[in-house]
Amino acid sequence: MASRVRVGLGIDLHAFAAGRRLVVGGVEIPYDRGLAGHSDADVLLHAIMDAALGAAGLPDIGTHFPPDDPAYAGADSLGLLAGVRDLLADVGWRVGQVDATVIAEAPRLSAHVPLMRLRIAAALGIEPDDVGVKATTAEGLGALGRGEGMQATAVVLLDRIAAA
């Protein structure tokens, strides 16, 4: 019998870069630097997308949204996340739950988490209560601890869509 649920893990990491806006979880965060990347470099949404794609047995986001494709230059990752939702539906899956953690020394993200949860849920077509987002620091350790970038890790639970 085919599985009714699947779990995927996604991890993404971006360095900070001057002259870019900082977008995390679909929310623009006031900060003096943004994240380096081809799209808006939303580290949280990228980790969620890779987790969802992996759970469905699909290739990673770089395959679906190539970083050298001019069509995705500066792309809004919330739109890409909605595209992943549609790819999942095409192969018989839907996101049931997301749990994610962002690691960064700065800026502090906790005040932005409720809006992140709302935007992620809306893009995936699920309830905000089905989206967990946490923020922590690296306690001064390594490149993240020195404030050189930001990392996100996400776990996504997929549910099989009932056949019509």
pLDDT tens-digit map of 72-107: 888 899 999 999 999 999 999 999 999 999 999 999
Domain that holds residue 77: 5-160
The domain tally of the chain equals 1
Q: pLDDT tens digit string along 4-23?
A: 999 999 999 999 999 999 99
For residues 53 and 11, is the Cβ–Cβ distance under 8 A?
no
Prediction pTM value? 0.95
Measuring CA to CA, which residue among 153, 5, 72, 42 is closest to residue 63?
Answer: 72
Q: How many Å from the N-terminal Cα to the C-terminal Cα in the chain?
A: 18
Query: How far is residue 154's CA from residue 48's CA, in Å, rounded to a whole number?
Result: 5
CATH number of the domain residue 69 falls in: 3.30.1330.50
For residues 92 and 158, is the Cβ–Cβ distance under 8 A?
no
